[in-house]
Amino acid sequence: MSRFRGYGAARALVHLGLAFFLVGGAPVRAAGPLIWALGDSLTAGYGLPPSDGFTTQLEATLRRAGVAATVRNGGISGDTAAQGRARLLWGLRGLGATPDLVIVELGANDMLRGLPPTQTAANLDLILVELQRRHIRVLIAGMKASPNLGPDYRAQFDAIYPALAKRYRARLYPFFLDGVAGKPALIQGDGLHPNATGVKIIVGRMVPAVKGALGRDG
């Protein structure tokens, strides 16, 4: 996104609580696949009503495509890769069941704070190590660095996601904001976050990768 600068001002913590479904004290598992989106404000649906957020739109689009998925929101605005890693285990426990897929969408706030790409990569790596240890499929949703950070930073940061996908043989969606970044008509008034139409475009572009990560390419 060409207007990343100033993003940090929008980092209000948005906690969209994890839902629990209990019958006789035991969690009930949905019939279809369970997907958890572990991320920041982009998956949290910052500035949008819940019905327009990423996870709600993704769930609805998958169901229209014949995949009866349940998509849980694990996005917290402002989170860095380190903060996402710190809450990974309790987030998984809170789901009440092992997810069939985790969408990992983290790193944008690291970049906006100018944190070293090696630090971001290390924290994402630890997240992927844990998910691989638990035999949970992963879709890595990548991010791209803002041009104002310079070519060296951009080269290092942008290389994080394809390198991790290759290392862990995980499905990669190269750029979460593909088709939306730099287009004011698809961005909220803060100039930073996608509006409902922007989220719809993101979801539409990402669904094939989600289905592929679930092993449902056909």
> 46-84 pLDDT, tens per residue?
999 999 999 999 999 999 999 999 999 999 999 999 999
Tell me if residue 41 is catalytic.
Answer: yes
For 143, counting Cβ atoms within 10 Å of its Cβ (0-12 exposed, 13-18 middle, 19+ buried), the class is buried
pLDDT at 8 over 50: no
pLDDT at 10 over 50: no
Which residue is listed with tokens 């982009």? 42
Measured distance CA(146)–CA(42) in Å, rounded: 16
Which pLDDT score, from 0 to 100, does residue 31 have? 74
Which one of the listed residues 2, 40, 41, 152 is annotated catalytic?
41
Q: In the predicted model, what is the mean pLDDT of residues 150-167?
A: 98
Which pLDDT score, from 0 to 100, does residue 218 have? 53
Q: In the predicted model, what is the mean pLDDT of residues 108-131?
A: 98
Which one of the listed residues 40, 110, 158, 193 is annotated catalytic?
193
pTM (2 d.p.): 0.85
Q: 18 falls in which pLDDT band (50, 70, 90)?
A: very low
Residue with the larger pLDDT of the pair 152 and 29: 152
Cβ 27 vs Cβ 21: under 8 Å: yes
Cβ 171 vs Cβ 212: under 8 Å: yes
For 50, counting Cβ atoms within 10 Å of its Cβ (0-12 exposed, 13-18 middle, 19+ buried), the class is exposed
The CATH fold assigned to 7-11+31-213 is Rossmann fold (3.40.50)
Which one of the listed residues 52, 110, 190, 217 is annotated catalytic?
190
Residue with the larger pLDDT of the pair 71 and 20: 71
Name 36's Cβ contacts closer than 8 Å, sequence gap at least 6: 71, 72, 74, 91, 92, 95, 99, 101, 102, 103
Tell me if residue 51 is catalytic.
Answer: no
Q: 26 falls in which pLDDT band (50, 70, 90)?
A: very low
Q: Which of 13-17, 98-102, 150-154, 202-206 has the least mean pLDDT?
A: 13-17
Residue with the larger pLDDT of the pair 18 and 129: 129
Tell me if residue 158 is catalytic.
Answer: no
